[in-house]
Structure 1
């Protein structure tokens, strides 16, 4: 993702490391994987990753990957961000999930909001914005302008270190019609994180706390009546594409969310495969001839099937990312709902391949001792099982979204 605008020519802030490259930031994520593996249990017990990990993410530039260069970010492309996300998830699914679901919404903010809003939202440089797509609570016009928002939103991953919160509230119904949604972004001083996370089967350390707001004021420039991220129409252009001269701030949003969810699945499957490889090296077969498992024909087949399926899923994901980028680069007219849903469908099947590789080959043949509480494979299995319950990936995408894709043939 390369902006047409040069920061120095406009006397705008530079990022902390002006010369940082996408390859370098990905390498930094890869270097953290061994430590994240060791600290998975700690993250689960706390409910979110530690402050020193958060500070490392700050120093590594992770929270600025998608922040526009205009505001002191790196404005790297979506592929760089998703590769970092996938790598962190490979080390610790909870940590990678919490980071990804917090930092990813810089793309939405930089795409959907105007210059005044973005200057305010990105003024701190690092942008961590938990969000949820499910409308909740209420938003009513405030007497002096803007909106008064009340409500509680669940599953706000990234909340512990959040600088902002993006969500949808319901506006008052009008003339008997159902209430419409209000998309808004609230600064940290307008919301409170509840201490209600960590009791699910998996992703216990993902910082997916609920957020509550009580009579919070949202100014007009940080609110968009009638807008929903998941079906936003980008075919007429977006404020971000115009402001930054960057097509990736004009891409479709549902597909980006699907790409993000798919990267979580691939990262988890990669983590499971890492552990399975260790088991093949370190353990022997159960019956004679007793040999290291990697020398046994059956384990060789099971391992290779898993490698092929996970590799295929990752290849499909990376291809879909490139398709998303090319579609955005073609101009607003190409960013159709059909293209959005087609890429989402690809992501669904890639994520399913990861699940199948784990459930059909890795888990059944790893042995019950590998699934003792606290073992890495046991944790990844719980995390992947919890990902499978994600409403967007496992309920709405294979039903509502796919039906809508087929209906688009009539237009």
Structure 2
């Protein structure tokens, strides 16, 4: 992805480090792995990563990776962002998840909102914006044409440090008509998050709290008559016109699938790291007693897991390249068929990552390695939790097959 290094700032702040490169930001994430690994337990107990971790992410520029340079961001490609996500998830799955689903929506926001809205939204510099796709709550017109929002939205990963929230609601229609979906973005001063996360099976530290809006006000240009997954980029998007960067003209549906795939690979890679440590430090259970690294069975199990993960990562990077290429070709390239094809790649990435852990790493690591709080036990819980995510269990595993086939054969 070409980075627009000369984009005007329009009076807004320049990036804190104008010469920062993608390689440098990825290296910063890699250097944080030991710290994230050491703090996994406290992150789960807190239900989100610590303030000083958040501050370190901000200093490293993570929250500006996808923000347009026009607004003081780095406008790096999604390949850079997804590599950072994989790296952070490798150190701490909850931290990687919370960071990803908070910072990733800079692309969607910069793609679909008009200039007036973006000028206001991105004025904060760092951008953290959890999103949910399930409509909830209500939206009523205010006297000045804006909207008054009320309701509770669940599973808002990234809420504790968020600057905004991107949600959906249903707008009442005329009598006898179905309500229509609406997408809105609301700044931090118009909502609060609940202390209702941490009792789930996994991803206990992902900051996926519910967000409550009580008579929150947003101007009319913060609300769009669409749903994120249904937004069409067949025409030139506001983002392409505004930023002159094809990255802000891509399909949001397929983009959302890339997030889950990157997280799955990173989490499973952390499991393989832990398994390798056990192979170096432990012996076989039955004679002949050998270091696990020398045992033919462990060699096979490690190879099976490693092979799946290297394949998963290659497929993910290929899907990212496909998405980027479609952006370069122009919005019309994002047909339903192409978007669902990318979704099916992401599904296989998630499956391979899960198989590596569930089939090989977890059952052969040994019972002491899967006690509560052990790294492999946590990774198994977190990946198990991922399998219940509607984006995976329903969209990837069911809708993607059906909708891809329907698009391929021209069926409505």
TM-score, normalised with respect to structure 2: 0.97
2:125 and 2:375 map into 1 onto residues whose CA distance is: 35
Secondary structure of the residue that 1:155 maps to in structure 2? Answer: strand
Q: Paired residue for 1:248?
A: 247
2:4 and 2:372 map into 1 onto residues whose CA distance is: 51
Quote how far apart the aligned CAs of 1:13 are. 2.9
Distance 1:197 1:9, change over 3 A: closer
Distance 1:9 1:67, change over 3 A: closer
2:13 and 2:158 map into 1 onto residues whose CA distance is: 26
Structure 1 residues 275-284 or 330-339, which shifts more?
330-339
Quote how far apart the aligned CAs of 1:288 are. 1.2
Is the aligned partner of 1:36 residue 2:36?
Answer: yes
Is the aligned partner of 1:273 residue 2:251?
Answer: no
Quote how far apart the aligned CAs of 1:410 are. 3.0
Q: Paired residue for 1:354?
A: 353
Secondary structure of the residue that 2:186 maps to in structure 1? Answer: strand
Is the aligned partner of 1:208 residue 2:172?
Answer: no
Quote how far apart the aligned CAs of 1:37 are. 0.3
| 8 Å CA contact retained: 1:5, 1:244 | no
Quote how far apart the aligned CAs of 1:12 are. 4.9
| 8 Å CA contact retained: 1:258, 1:344 | yes
Summarize deviations over 1:51-105 as a string: whole Å, max 9, x none: 0000000000000000000000000000000000110000000011000000001
Quote how far apart the aligned CAs of 1:11 are. 5.3
Quote how far apart the aligned CAs of 1:155 are. 0.3
Q: Paired residue for 2:113?
A: 113
Q: Paired residue for 1:149?
A: 149
1:44 and 1:12 map into 2 onto residues whose CA distance is: 37
Q: Paired residue for 1:25?
A: 25
- Counting only pairs closer than 5 Å after superposition, residues 7-22 of structure 1 correspond to structure 2 as 7=7, 12-22=12-22
Is the aligned partner of 1:397 residue 2:402?
Answer: no
Summarize deviations over 1:306-342 as a string: whole Å, max 9, x none: 1000110010000000000001100111011211111
2:261 and 2:360 map into 1 onto residues whose CA distance is: 20
| 8 Å CA contact retained: 2:3, 2:76 | no
TM-score, normalised with respect to structure 1: 0.98
Quote how far apart the aligned CAs of 1:10 are. 5.5
| 8 Å CA contact retained: 2:7, 2:243 | no
| 8 Å CA contact retained: 1:3, 1:244 | no
Q: Paired residue for 1:137?
A: 137
1:51 and 1:9 map into 2 onto residues whose CA distance is: 29
Quote how far apart the aligned CAs of 1:397 are. 2.3
1:145 and 1:401 map into 2 onto residues whose CA distance is: 38
Q: Paired residue for 1:285?
A: 284
Distance 1:277 1:136, change over 3 A: same
1:46 and 1:353 map into 2 onto residues whose CA distance is: 30
Quote how far apart the aligned CAs of 1:8 are. 5.3
Q: CA RMSD in A?
A: 1.2
1:80 and 1:3 map into 2 onto residues whose CA distance is: 11
Q: Paired residue for 2:383?
A: 384
Distance 1:8 1:258, change over 3 A: closer
Secondary structure of the residue that 1:122 maps to in structure 2? Answer: helix
| 8 Å CA contact retained: 2:302, 2:360 | yes
Q: Paired residue for 2:93?
A: 93
| 8 Å CA contact retained: 2:14, 2:71 | yes
Q: Paired residue for 1:309?
A: 308
| 8 Å CA contact retained: 1:7, 1:13 | no
Name stretches of at least 5 consecutive residues in structure 2 with no aligned partner. Answer: none
1:147 and 1:74 map into 2 onto residues whose CA distance is: 32
Distance 1:274 1:410, change over 3 A: same
Name stretches of at least 5 consecutive residues in structure 1 with no aligned partner. Answer: none
- Counting only pairs closer than 5 Å after superposition, residues 145-184 of structure 1 correspond to structure 2 as 145-184=145-184
2:236 and 2:266 map into 1 onto residues whose CA distance is: 32
| 8 Å CA contact retained: 1:3, 1:245 | no
Q: Paired residue for 1:58?
A: 58
1:101 and 1:11 map into 2 onto residues whose CA distance is: 29
Quote how far apart the aligned CAs of 1:371 are. 0.5
2:244 and 2:58 map into 1 onto residues whose CA distance is: 26
